[in-house]
Amino acid sequence: MDGGNLIYLVWNDFVGLSRTRGMVRENYEFNKARGLGWALAGQSLTPFEDIAPNPWGPMDEVRQTPDPDTEVNIKITDGAPALSMVLCDSRHPDGTPWECCTRSLLKAALDELERAHGLILKIAYENEFKLYAPDGAWNAPFSLAAARSYAPFIEVLTQALLTAQVGLETVEPEYGVGQYEISCGPAPGVAGADRVVITREVLREAARQCGLHASLSPKTGPDDVGNGCHLHLSLWHRDGTPASFDPEGPGELSPVAAHFVAGVHRHLQALMAFTAPSPVSYLRLGPHHWSCGYDAVGVQNREAAIRICPAPAGEAAQRAAGLNIEYRATDATASPYLSLAAILRAGLHGLREKLPLPALLDQDPADLSDGEREKRGIRSLPGSLETALSALDDDPLVKQWFSPTMLQAYKDLKTYEAGMFKDASPDHLCERYRLAY
């Protein structure tokens, strides 16, 4: 299909935004192996007009190099140019990955999982978002009226996501006014993370072309229902058989899945610096909102940071294939690649050390007394980005997963971003992120 004259080379940076350069299409075939140059300092851009202090000079650059498997070329509405884009790895001119390339960090962690344990990770995302329309209709939560109020847009979006082949499963109204959700099925390895980046950009583009605005920000207004981006993970053997399920295991988790979860749980406080990485992330998280406020683990527990999701009843084979682990403490201000790389490294630590699964919780952790929570080893999640960054500083193992330059640049950027909103009102904070994400 004709995608117009430009193809956008896209990379997802430390703040989880898709940055881009547009290449003239007729040069693309010839130039795609070399990619386009991009200043390293660009990795320290905040989501706004500012750039954080960083170690890079005016001559340092990287090549944004397309992965042809990720090309998207979709006509969304008549009369608007097709969305034509390709996802990139950030490489040095000799082709080696840059230490700060989020996509390459995930690929390295996935390689380690396969090399050391013979396992493949399948990844699926839910994307909650809020739709803004000039006429801003009110509808009851989850109602057919909410679905049908924007039926033309939802049909355009659905068709676009089907064409983009992101494994679309559902598009539905959510709890908040104007809130909707897109769920996609799992894909193995880096393709699972690519899917979520493509899904979000197709969503934003479809909304733009229909005269609407879609925001995936975790909190679009202080009193709005939060937008989560729940992440579903499952482990598979190389031969394509599921590896997460054992009907005899706690929560029906296999030993490898239990160790994986234990590793993620062990490092959860520090992981939050990557998975809930914005000041506004912490307006969403908290007890009694199903967004989670504690680092509990439980079967079907929507108030736990890690929810074990059994498959619906069925044959053992279906239950084995359907069981997955949901990480709820994340949102669309996180880079899917970087946050998954960190989560996967934590899971690898659990696998290597055969860490024990924490006791599973079958109630709302907020209903327990402080003493009961302490007895069960349940901790509050960090209450701010600054606290999450301190937790990262306090976790020597997590810091080892990244190069010193990468870690310093990331922490400096996130510290700067936290500082930008230190004295901001919740209204101002929500409004800035609502427009950026």
Spatial CB neighbours of 144, under 8 Å, sequence gap ≥ 6: none
CA–CA separation, 403 and 425 (whole Å): 35
* Residue 228 in contact with ligand GLU, rule: CB under 6 A: yes
Under rule CB under 5 A, which residues in 313-332 are in contact with Mg ion?
none
In the complex, what is the shortest distance from the CB of residue 116 to Mg ion, in angstroms, rounded to a whole number?
34
279 near ligand GLU, rule: CB under 6 A: no
CA distance 207 to 134: 12
Q: How far apart are CA 273 and CA 294, in angstroms?
A: 15
Encoded tokens for 228: 């989560």
**Contact of residue 432 among ligand GLU, Mg ion, none (CB under 5-8 Å per partner type):** none
CB of 221 to ligand GLU, least distance (A): 14
**Minimum CB distance to ligand GLU, residue 224 (Å):** 10
User: CA triplet 264, 331, 64: central angle to 5 degrees?
Assistant: 90
Quick check: 263 binds ligand GLU (CB under 6 A)? no
Separation of alpha carbons 362 and 372, rounded Å? 14
Q: Exposure of 161 by Cβ count < 10 A (0-12 exposed, 13-18 middle, 19+ buried)?
A: buried
Nearer to ligand GLU, 25 or 302 (CB): 302
Determine if 290 is a binding residue for ligand GLU (CB under 6 A).
yes
Q: Which does 284 bind (CB under 5 to 8 A by kind): ligand GLU, Mg ion, none?
A: ligand GLU
Site string for ligand GLU, 126-155 (x = CB under 6 A): --x---------------------------
DSSP 129: E
Which helix or strand (DSSP H or E) is residue 169 part of? strand 168-173
Query: Looking at beta carbons only, is 229 or 321 nearer to Mg ion?
Result: 229
Q: What are phi and psi of 420, to 5 degrees?
A: -60, -30
Extract the tokens encoding 302. 């929507």
Query: Measured between alpha carbons, how far is 90 from 337 in angstroms, rounded to an integer?
Result: 13
Closer residue to ligand GLU in complex, CB, 61/224: 224
Reported as type and span, the H/E element at residue 21 is strand 18-24
Residue 129 or 153: the one with the smaller Cβ distance to Mg ion is: 129
Q: How far is the CB of 158 from ligand GLU (least distance, A)?
A: 19
Q: How many residues does the chain have?
A: 437
Q: Using the rule CB under 6 A, is 291 a contact of ligand GLU?
A: yes
Q: Which window, 2-10, 198-206, 224-232, 408-416, contacts ligand GLU (CB under 6 A)?
A: 224-232
Q: Which is nearer to ligand GLU, 104 or 324 (CB)?
A: 324
Give the contacts of 230 (CB within 8 A, at least 6 positions apart): 125, 126, 326, 327, 328, 330
For ligand GLU, what does the binding mask look like between residues 82 and 121, x meaning CB under 6 A? ----------------------------------------
Range in contact with ligand GLU (rule: CB under 6 A) among 9-17, 65-73, 163-171, 225-233:
225-233
Q: Which is nearer to ligand GLU, 52 or 231 (CB)?
A: 231
Task: Look at residue 167 and give the partner it binds from Mg ion, ligand GLU, none, a contact being a CB closer than 5 to 8 Å depending on partner kind.
Answer: none
DSSP structure string for 213-280? EEE--S-SSTTSPP----EEEEEEETTS-B-SB-TTSGGGB-HHHHHHHHHHHHTHHHHHHHHS-STT
Only one of the segments 14-22, 129-137, 223-231, 377-385 lies at the binding site for ligand GLU (rule: CB under 6 A); that segment is 223-231
Is residue 32 close enough to count as binding ligand GLU by CB under 6 A? no
Number of residues that bind Mg ion (CB under 5 A): 1
Number of residues that bind ligand GLU (CB under 6 A): 9
Beta bridge partners of 369: none
61 near ligand GLU (CB under 6 A): no
Binding of ligand GLU by 219 (CB under 6 A): no
Please identify, among the stretches 61-69, 284-292, 386-394, 405-413, the one whose residues bind ligand GLU according to the rule CB under 6 A.
Answer: 284-292
**361 by DSSP, 3-state: which?**
coil
Using Cβ positions, the residue closest to ligand GLU within the complex turns out to be: 228
Residues between 174 and 203 with contacts to Mg ion, criterion CB under 5 A: 181
Judged by CB under 5 A, which stretch of 149-157, 173-181, 366-374, 415-423 contacts Mg ion? 173-181
Sole window of 75-83, 98-106, 235-243, 283-291 interacting with ligand GLU (rule: CB under 6 A): 283-291
Strand partners, 325: 233, 308
Residue that is written with structure tokens 């950030």 in the block: 90
Contact 265, 381 (CB under 8 A): no
Contacts for 44 with CB less than 8 Å, ≥ 6 apart: 14, 51, 52, 53, 54, 56, 409, 412, 413
Residue numbers of the site for ligand GLU (CB under 6 A)? 128, 225-226, 228, 284, 290-291, 302, 328
Residues near Mg ion (CB under 5 A)? 181
